[in-house]
Amino acid sequence: MSGNEEQTPRVPRKFRPEPFGYHEIVELDIETLTNMGQGLGRINDWVVMVRFALPGERVKARVYRNDKNFSEADLVEVLTPSPERIEAPCPVFTECGGCQYQHFEYSAQLEWKTRQVKELLWHMVRVEHPVLPAIASPKLYGYRSKLTPHFQLPRGDNPMTIGFLKAGTRSRYVEVEHCPLISDEMNETLTRVRAKTRARHQEKPFKKGGTLLIREHLDGVSTDPKQTIREKVGDITFSFIAGEFFQNNPSILPAFTGYVRNKAREAGAKYLVDAYCGSGLFTLTAAQDFEQVVGVEVSEQSIEYAQKNAADNQIENASFVLGDAASIFEHIQFEGSDSAVVIDPPRKGSSEDFLNQLIDFGPRSVVYVSCNPATQMRDLKVLLEGGYAIDEIQPFDLFPQTRHLECVVVLKKQD
């Protein structure tokens, strides 16, 4: 990879001038990866993070930000490439901010994702515990079932850009004509939707930018975020609103939900509580192994779909409760000592109030599923202090070619 040095770069007003000048070219060895997928190295003990640089590489990089404790830089040239560096298939890789690892051999992606969970566990919780190797996605490309391209209003005579945030920016977008993370049918829909959006803007200009939806499901591809669609996981068919959250790598969901079910039942609990149940993914895929399962959710619409999914799949031992965050377990009719609890909170993690309610409920085991291991580790500290111990940690790679992963931590109540 190479880049041309700017002759007279315009220095941003808030640029901190030490220890490097704006767009100063530096050479360094990359030692590790950050949780954001950046290569990290040091120059005289000063940390420099370089997008798209890989561990073991010596690189030239162009500094664009000096923080209090580190600098950030763009990759200019790879002087000594990693043996795990490969050719990325996407023509806008390194421009589009959606992927961080298309240039990284897949087995190495898995190794580093596993390592990062272990490092977070130590740095944030001060606990050393084995982390099982990340479970690979059956599909490395074409796996995403949901894509949400964005568009902004064009400036002047410039064409409308429809795509994703440019890497390292918060408001600039990159045109994406074809995404290798989605299927051929979804890409065909993407082409049509882009053309339709531009044509509509020509006829009646949009007043502001927006977000589009392309979602593949059991019955085809939808672009209407309000449409009811279906997805099958194992033997269970789920209905949900196309624009709402549902795990979007169907290829790995049978293994993912099967692991959660197996770990929840291992402690011998009779009952299961799914505390962030959505439309019932973990509740219903686990129902066969428990006397009774209860899903709790703060969204009334999600509860309605979860109930519909239980009825459609003839699952009679499942019930769903519209929960209040302040009293999430008060409607549960059985004892915590006979129960296992699955939690799968949003990226921000669980509130301390919820975690204290969970500890007071006292389930035999907690299966904590997270798409953000950093907030998961923060919450883990509360659960460990509340009388739980780590039994097993298993990452799942639901998002190949990106820095993202799902991590499942299984906790058992200590006697």
3-state per-residue secondary structure call for the chain: CCCCCCCCCCCCCCCCCCCCCCCCEEEEEEEEECCCCEEEEEECCEEEEEECCCCCCEEEEEEEEECCCEEEEEEEEEEECCCCECCCCCCCECCECCCCCCCECHHHHHHHHHHHHHHHHHHHHCCCCCCCCCECCCCCCCCECEECCEECCCCCCCCCCEEEEECCCCCCEEECCCCCCECHHHHHHHHHHHHHHHHHHHHCCCCCCEECCEEEECCEEECCCCCEEEEEECCEEEEEECCCCCCCCHHHHHHHHHHHHHHHHCCCCCEEEECCCCCCHHHHHHHHHCCEEEEEECCHHHHHHHHHHHHHCCCCCEEEEECCHHHCCCCCCCCHHHEEEEECCCCCCCCHHHHHHHHHHCCCEEEEEECCHHHHHHHHHHHHHCCEEEEEEEEECCCCCCCCCEEEEEEEECC
CA distances from 324 to 87, 295, 344 (A): 49, 13, 16
Are 154 and 262 contacting, i.e. CB atoms less than 8 angstroms apart? no
Q: Give the separation between CA 168 and CA 130, rounded to whole angstroms.
A: 33
Q: Which of 83, 76, 119 is nearest to 104 (CA)?
A: 83
Q: Give the separation between CA 41 and CA 32, rounded to whole angstroms.
A: 7
The tokens describing 353, both together, are 């109030």
Active site residue 371: yes
Q: Give the separation between CA 398 and CA 23, rounded to whole angstroms.
A: 36
Q: Is residue 344 annotated as involved in ligand binding?
A: yes
Q: Give the separation between CA 342 and CA 65, rounded to whole angstroms.
A: 41
Report the length, in residues, of the chain.
Answer: 415
Catalytic residue among 99, 277, 371, 407: 371
Given a cut of 70, the residues of the chain with pLDDT beneath it are 1-8, 325-326
Q: Which of 290, 266, 254 is nearest to 411 (CA)?
A: 266
Q: Is residue 247 annotated as involved in ligand binding?
A: yes
Tell me the backbone φ, ψ of residue 226, rounded to 5 degrees. Answer: -100, -5
Q: What is the pLDDT of residue 1?
A: 46
Residue 28 pairs in a beta bridge with: 59
pTM (2 d.p.):
0.93
Domains of the chain: 1-85 (2.40.50.140), 107-139+247-413 (3.40.50.150)
Q: What is the pLDDT of residue 7?
A: 61
Q: Which tens digit of pLDDT belongs to each residue from 3-12?
A: 445 466 789 8
Residue 239 pairs in a beta bridge with: 230
Buried b / exposed e over 387-415, threshold 16 CB at 10 Å, is: ebebbbbbbbbbbbbbbbbbbbbbbbbee
Q: What is the pLDDT of residue 217?
A: 98
Q: What is the pLDDT of residue 405?
A: 96
